[in-house]
Amino acid sequence: MDRYIFVLGSNWQLSLAELDNCLKYSQLKGRIIDYSANIAVVEFENLHLEKHYINKLMEFQFLLGGCQKIAKIFEFIDLPTIHEAFPLTIEKFKLIDKIRKKISTDLSSVLDKVFPRIKKKSLFYAVSIYPNFYDEEYYKSILTKHFLPFLNKEIMAILKQKGAEKALYYKYPEKNIIEGNLNPIFPHHLIKYGLFNEDRAEIIFGFTEDGVYIARTYTSDDPSFKKKIDEQRPFKEFKSSISPKLAIMMLNFLNIFENREEKRILDPFVGNGTIFLFAMIQDFQVYGTDVDATKIENSIKNSNWLLEELEENIPLLNERFKIVDIKNLSNILENEFFDGICTEPYLGPFLNKKPYYIETQHLIDTELEPLYEATFREAFKVLKQKGRICIIAPIISTIDGGNVQININKIALNNNFKVIPMIDPKRIINKMNDKLQFRNLNNLIDAKKNQILFRKIYVFEKQ
């Protein structure tokens, strides 16, 4: 069976959970058989039987919010071998030389698969190394400084031996190599350098605790497309908006993969419509409500702009939007009408410095808890049986009382929703490193460093 590397998004836990969920429930079934903080190794059940399997991979890439690239694996070398060939301190050079020669032999057979034709061809390649973690010493001092130059030179020599007319490789900035903070090339570079062409390739060396997987990239995310929608839509507010990737991941946690074009999704705190727009792109029948009339107007303009961008015939979208306070939602929407709800409610006022505990607790007690309570009560009414809600709740970091949050599980359970673990414990393989373990399966956090407000993502199902 063929195996593939999936390069994970910056929030690797969320990306991995999304990927596992899609492999379990979408049309393309498979399993994650190994992972690190940067890659997942996937084995599909039936992909090898598909004639146009690259198209299938491209569709799968488009479905995922948290996947940067997909690459086909051609070889695996275990970690002890790599450590022997590239030790932290060199003692026995003869032994090292022997093992490096063995690695070169492996590379030689990989290259026959990476480049369908080598003889007399002008070839170009970019080597990308994904370590177990970026901050590990072995990556900074060995993989970037010794393994990468070895690979670049060795691959060039092998290609020339095999009769290539020319073999050139992508040169990373020397400064990053010296400082040991190298990032593999970004998805938009793959497109810029034509690395999906027959004679040009990105060759990925993806490390896990077990060893290194060697693969060729077949598809990548198109970040410029998402960025354009996010940044060029007529109305936006960066302070309060979630990222396009997060919006797509949240939609995937609803577990609706078949006949999306017939499935009705609601965002009852639609705002400027980030979730709404990406749900449109992902083919859902999407509806949006908000208490603020200006936000509804903005969302309508944004979605019409998107339809024009996509060159779709513009249907009347206005009836898909309603101005309504969450507490009255079921008064204006039909009961049991929606297949899923995906939303980021009001998370409190924008904070540019940490608040005190007492004021935060007051905000939670008087505003946020009643708002979430109303959300679950109303969601229960408008959702179909077994319909899911994927929802964000805030964690607020305070000056004097640590992190404060709302007890969402309790509110959800009181309103007859059951918790859906974001990652299935039975499907996730064990890792030795503590940092690679999933401590909490029931919610995941979307956070950047030094934030005051963190977004926690939950999934619940109507009972």
Binding site for ligand SAM (CB under 6 A): 240-242, 269, 271-275, 290-292, 295, 325-326, 344-347, 371
**191 in Cβ contact with 115 (< 8 Å):** no
The CA distance from 1 to 324, in Å, is: 52
Phi, psi values for residue 297, rounded to 5°: -60, -45
Closest among 41, 55, 60 to 2, alpha carbons compared: 41
Phi, psi values for residue 387, rounded to 5°: -65, 150
* Residue number, 150 or 346, with CB nearest to ligand SAM: 346
The minimum distance between CB 33 and ligand SAM, in angstroms, equals 35
Q: Compute the Cα dihedral for 430, 435, 440, 442 and give only its sign.
A: negative
* Residue number, 81 or 330, with CB nearest to ligand SAM: 330
* Residue number, 85 or 391, with CB nearest to ligand SAM: 391
Q: Compute the Cα dihedral for 304, 267, 421, 361 and give only its sign.
A: positive
Q: Which run of H or of E encompasses 190?
A: helix 187-192
The minimum distance between CB 148 and ligand SAM, in angstroms, equals 39
* Residue number, 344 or 373, with CB nearest to ligand SAM: 344
The minimum distance between CB 164 and ligand SAM, in angstroms, equals 49
Query: With the CA atoms of 112, 114, 116 and 121 taken in that order, what torsion angle do they form, in degrees rounded to the nearest 10?
Result: -90
314's tokens = 């513009």
The minimum distance between CB 373 and ligand SAM, in angstroms, equals 11
The minimum distance between CB 281 and ligand SAM, in angstroms, equals 14
**Do strands 122-130 and 166-169 pair parallel, antiparallel, or not at all (unpaired)?**
parallel
* Residue number, 96 or 453, with CB nearest to ligand SAM: 453
- Nearest residue relative to ligand SAM (C-beta): 271
* Residue number, 269 or 287, with CB nearest to ligand SAM: 269
* Residue number, 251 or 347, with CB nearest to ligand SAM: 347
73 CB-side CA count, 13 A: 24
Cα angle for residues 102, 107, 112 (degrees, 5° grid): 135
Alpha-carbon Rg of the chain, whole angstroms?
A: 24
* Residue number, 209 or 237, with CB nearest to ligand SAM: 237
The minimum distance between CB 359 and ligand SAM, in angstroms, equals 19
Identify the residue whose tokens are 């609601």: 266
The minimum distance between CB 302 and ligand SAM, in angstroms, equals 9
The minimum distance between CB 414 and ligand SAM, in angstroms, equals 19
At how many degrees (to 10) do helices 223-232 and 244-252 cross?
Answer: 110
The CA distance from 19 to 68, in Å, is: 12
Q: Is 64 exposed, middle or buried (0-12, 13-18, 19+ CB in 10 A)?
A: buried
The minimum distance between CB 40 and ligand SAM, in angstroms, equals 27
Mark residue 336 as left, alpha or beta (left: phi above 0; alpha: psi -120 to 50; beta: remaining): left
* Residue number, 291 or 447, with CB nearest to ligand SAM: 291
